[in-house]
Amino acid sequence: MKILMVCLGNICRSPLAEGVMQHLADEAGLDWQIDSAGTGNWHVGEGPHHGSVRTAKAHGIDISGQVCRLFRVSDFDEFDRIYVMDKSNRTNILNMARNTEDTQKVKLLLGDAEVPDPYYTNLFEEAYGLIEDGCRKIIGEYQK
């Protein structure tokens, strides 16, 4: 399974989601490959936000080596599932979809709820908790 996590800048939420999902998948013995991307190009080539790095590290997850990148149309071909952090991310990605198969891959990580952007609130631990809950639920669904 190949999963892509997407947020706005690929520096706060999606790097956390990539790290959390990969960590949980590895713990569960699942052969999953997780990546992340952003819908905006402000931080391409940079590492994750220090708040995300610090929060992940506090939970035993190292995301410091990640490099921010922009979502691209070819990601629809490369990934089985694309999880977005909020409805704005979903709209941006769906606007790039080429067909129904592409659109069916795109889901909100939390179902109908959103993961608030800690870039503006500095609530990285809260974002982590929501992301971990969403990732655990997804892994649980695949382990049934």
CA gap 128, 130 in Å, rounded: 6
To the query of whether residue 117 is one of the catalytic residues in this protein, the response is yes
Q: Which residue segments constitute the domains of the chain, with CATH numbers given?
A: 2-143 (3.40.50.2300)
For 75-126, write each residue's pLDDT tens digit: 999 999 999 999 999 999 999 999 999 999 999 999 999 999 999 899 999 9
Per-residue pLDDT at 142 = 86
**Burial (0-12, 13-18, 19+ Cβ within 10 Å), 54:** middle
To the query of whether residue 13 is one of the catalytic residues in this protein, the response is yes
For 42-57, write each residue's pLDDT tens digit: 999 999 999 999 999 9
- State the catalytic residue, choosing from 35, 68, 117, 135: 117
What angle is formed at CA 33 by the lines to CA 28 and CA 39, rounded to 5 degrees? Answer: 125
To the query of whether residue 12 is one of the catalytic residues in this protein, the response is no
Question: Does this model's pTM top 0.85?
Answer: yes
CA distances from 62 to 15, 87, 127, 130 (A): 10, 27, 16, 18
- State the catalytic residue, choosing from 13, 35, 69, 75: 13
